[in-house]
Amino acid sequence: MPYNILHQSLFVLRFRYLSSIKSIVRKIYFGVFGMKVGHHTKLPSIRVTWPHQVEIGDNCQLEPDIFFKFDGVWEKGPSICIGNNVFIGANCEFNISKKIIIGDESMIASGCKFIDHNHDTSAILKEHRGRDEEKEIKIGYDVWLGFNVIVLMGVEIGDSAIIAAGSVVTKSVPPHEIWAGIPAKKIGKRV
């Protein structure tokens, strides 16, 4: 019986209080470098290349090991803009050169990847190739992305759309539609 009480006390201490203190320290640390994190948003262990490029809204829930990668040299930000009440699962990657906007109330499952640029694939020497393509990504209000979804450059996902797990989104998705597959295609309507 005393072992259970000790075990529960350590659990509460570790996951409630210690994680809250670490979150506050991370918010202060990244805030010094320009990251904006909203009220009641806890910041778990994350990786960030340019903190000033990241803006996270209020009441967001982030799981550990998210990678916010602004893929370029220093420039004025933010380029990774996350709305209010957004859930982002573990091991998500934001590989951004231009911009990504995620609307309020959206849910992004673990392992999702967002890539807003494409490299020139010409069969010539690298120094003679053209400039990489960049097009921003827009995720609407109340969008759900399943486990391991990949969203590519120039995609706009409309409000209340759902993308099934493992899908690769290569073109824009209208509001209230359900898409799945590689490449993702419409499979239904959200009611």
Q: Which among 39, 40, 119, 176 is annotated as catalytic?
A: 119
Rounded Cα distance between 59 and 92, Å, is: 18
Is 119 catalytic? The answer is yes
* Residue bearing tokens 């400039």: 131
**Residue 47 C-alpha from the chain's centroid:** 12
Residue 88: count other Cβ atoms within 10 Å of its Cβ. Answer: 25
108 and 86 Cβ atoms separated by less than 8 Å: yes
Q: ∠142-65-14 over CA atoms, to 5°?
A: 100
**Phi, psi for 178 (deg, rounded to 5):** -110, 125
Quick check: helix, strand or coil at residue 3? Answer: helix
Q: Which residues are catalytic?
A: 119
